Structure 1
Amino acid sequence: MEVITVHPLIELNNEIVEGTRKFYGMGDVKTINESLDAIQDWTKKQPHLASATEFMTRRYLETILILARGSVEGAKNKIDKICTTRGLMPELCMNFSVQEYSKLFECVRYIPLPKVCPTDKTRIMMTQFIPEKMDAFSILSYFRYNLMVGEYRAHHDYTIAERFVIDLNNVSQMTIITKVNPIVVKKAEIIATEAYGTKIKGIHLLNAPPFVDKLIFLLKQALKEKVASRIHVHYTLEDFHKLIPKEVLPKDYGGDEPTLEKLSELWQETLRTEEATKIISNINNIIADESKRPTNQFNQEYMGMPGSFRKLNVD
């Protein structure tokens, strides 16, 4: 088990780390190390995963162990799913580079907030659109960036679950509804929840416009019922603050943290550092070598993934 390092944009302390481990029955450091040893030993013995394993640090594997609720067998399953799903959906989760997002950065800001929510220890992921630049917005690029940031955070963060906040202030129906592709949303959800096992505590639509029902309809077409049931609509900041305390929010949302624009700039700088560049480069090598998989056919679970996209009603 690697030491939990200090990160300037992801605040952690012993209470959060120990609380997360305890939540999943991982309080014993000796047991965590033994679990990680067993996972590493297993991955090295899997022909189709062996090369990918070289790019998985113990810190990364510990995050996967957390997502698997402390289960060694569950972590093995997630590693196989992560590596296999990345091969099935390379358009969303392969060949990452910060340079590809120059246009995205002009029209949207997406960041993890520095502090975890004190009420439930979730990390809050905030999206803020820049309305006058929305012509350049791409839902595929947006989710690629989400997933890249998530992969980077897997080397630094330590939280129980996540909440996603999407600020729709001054965003017109034409600029957002026409750009929400349910198939891309579905693929992103599969990668996040079924491969990685991300626990989505809530999806919050802030400053909801009159057409919010149409957006919710599109999202529900793509999301699993369990995730869709956690969509919250907030018409005012006051209503939003009832669920998300001000103390963790940026200044432009009534909180004490730097503005979302400033945090977004800091994240862009961080992802361009040598440390982040190495992590992102390693991420691009975490993929299954299907030519070496012991069986000639995919598990039926993987075969069902692409087929599920065709079930969406996108009229």
Structure 2
Amino acid sequence: MDAVPEDKLLRYTPDTMQALRRLYNLDKPGDMDFAITALQDWLKKQHHLTKKDYSRSYLERLIILQKGSLERSKAQIENICAMRTLLPEYFEINGDEEIVKLDGLSVDLLPTLTEDYYRVLAVKYSPHKIDAKKFFITYKRAIQLTEYAMASDYGRGLICIIDYRDVDIMDFIAAINIKELYQFIKIMTIGYALKIKYIHVITPSTTANTFINLVKKMLTTKIANRFYVHKTIEPLYEYVARDILPSEYGGHGEALADRHMKWVQALTSKKMTEHLKEMSEAKSTQGYKMKDTISDPDLGISGSFRSLNVD
């Protein structure tokens, strides 16, 4: 792969590939090809993995996301295959468009990379009734979007924007199943090993801090320290250029609502559906080794947040 292939939903600058290869000391002729071949050779020997035939472009994206480290890339493949074995319900593809349409929620990988080659993920909740089932559907949608990015995107990691301004935060918190939330967080941070630069939460409610502090306990200290909570949208401009942000956030980009429908079409296309089904079967016969990682969190709360007391 000599250049990042064009994508209908994601854009790149002409120097994206070379700049990121250079960042991780893989820019000299043959360096990346050598790394990819080494990863392919390793995969062939992993008899406990059910899928070994990843494309070279997929493996290059993985190596870049793992900061050029083959050992981290191997661990990522091992971990996500184990999680697909232990938690297959998060990865199943059953043709239910409810998973991608998600009334009341817009989830968008914004089209333009930041100057330092991070992709911005924008999540905006609308004032619709939400329950535990819809949360679980949200997790499946996020996993499908991540699989799309793993197959198509080329960047260093994510800057996340989570917009709670239009929801009743107490109803939102009460609907969450803590076990499912914990497992989803482990899938994203350990299974996919996503590199997260910042997580910006936008809400005027101080009650949200209780929820955010609990979520931080499920994360590594490094990621937990990357949370920023804003009461309004304006502080976000210090971190993400307006040219990148959608119109809902005072930016110059396409509206989230319009982008949302394009993502629905992309994730339900025949090509993507086949890819998602194939990846859902990329498992490990040694998945049991991951059981402790995804076991119930010891956070003093079981089942849901319904009994959570807040000031």
Question: How does the TM-score come out when normalised to structure 2?
Answer: 0.88
Residue 236 of structure 1, CA deviation: 1.5
User: What whole-Å deviation, never above 9, does each CA across 1:44-63 have from its counterpart, x for those lacking one?
Assistant: 222112x3123x22222122
Q: Is residue 244 of structure 1 aligned with residue 240 of structure 2?
A: yes
Counterpart check, 1:25 vs 2:21 = no
The counterpart of 1:304, out of the listed 292, 303, 311, is: 292
> Whole-Å Cα distance in 2 between the matches of residues 15 and 254 of structure 1?
28
Q: Decide whether the 8 Å contact of 1:86 with 1:287 is kept in 2.
A: yes
Give the share of equivalent positions with the same residue, in percent. Answer: 26
User: Contact (CA 8 Å) 2:125, 2:163: kept in 1 or not?
Assistant: yes
Q: Is 2:224 the counterpart of 1:228?
A: yes
CA-CA distance at 1:274 after TM superposition: 2.7
1:277-296 correspondence runs (5 A) = 277-288=273-284, 290=285
Q: How does 1:81-230 map to 2 (within 5 A)?
A: 81-92=79-90, 94-97=91-94, 99-102=96-99, 105-118=102-115, 120-134=116-130, 138-230=134-226
User: What SS does structure 2 have at the residue aligned with 1:269?
Assistant: helix
Which residue is equivalent to 2:266? 270
| 1:58 is aligned to 2:56 | yes
Counterpart CA distance in 2 for 1:279 and 1:312 is 36
CA distance in 2, matches of 1:198, 1:171: 27
Structure 2 residue runs of 5 or longer lacking an equivalent are 302-307
Could you say which residue in structure 2 is the equivalent of 1:68? 66
How many residues get paired? 302
Q: 1:103: how far off?
A: 8.1
1:44 paired with 2:62, answer no
Q: What residue identity is the alignment partner of 2:30?
A: K
Partner Cα distance (2:2, 2:177) in 1: 39
Q: After the TM superposition, which of the residue ranges 229-238 and 65-74 deviates more from structure 2?
A: 65-74
Structure 1 counterpart SS, 2:200? strand
Q: 1:313 and 2:309 equivalent?
A: no
CA distance in 1, matches of 2:101, 2:210: 24
Q: Secondary structure at the match of 1:128?
A: strand
Task: Determine if contact 1:65/1:71 at 8 Å carries over to the other structure.
Answer: yes
TM-score, normalised relative to structure 1: 0.87
Shift of 1:2: 7.1
Counterparts in 2 of 1:103 and 1:24: CA distance versus 1, 3 Å:
closer
Structure 1 residue 180, shift from structure 2 partner:
2.9
Deviation at 1:251? 1.1
Unmatched segments (≥5 aa) in structure 1: none
Q: Is the 8 A contact 2:132 2:175 kept in 1?
A: no
Aligned CA RMSD, in angstroms, stands at: 2.3
Name whichever structure is richer in helix by fraction: 1
Tell me if the contact between 1:112 and 1:123 (Cα under 8 Å) persists in the aligned partners: yes
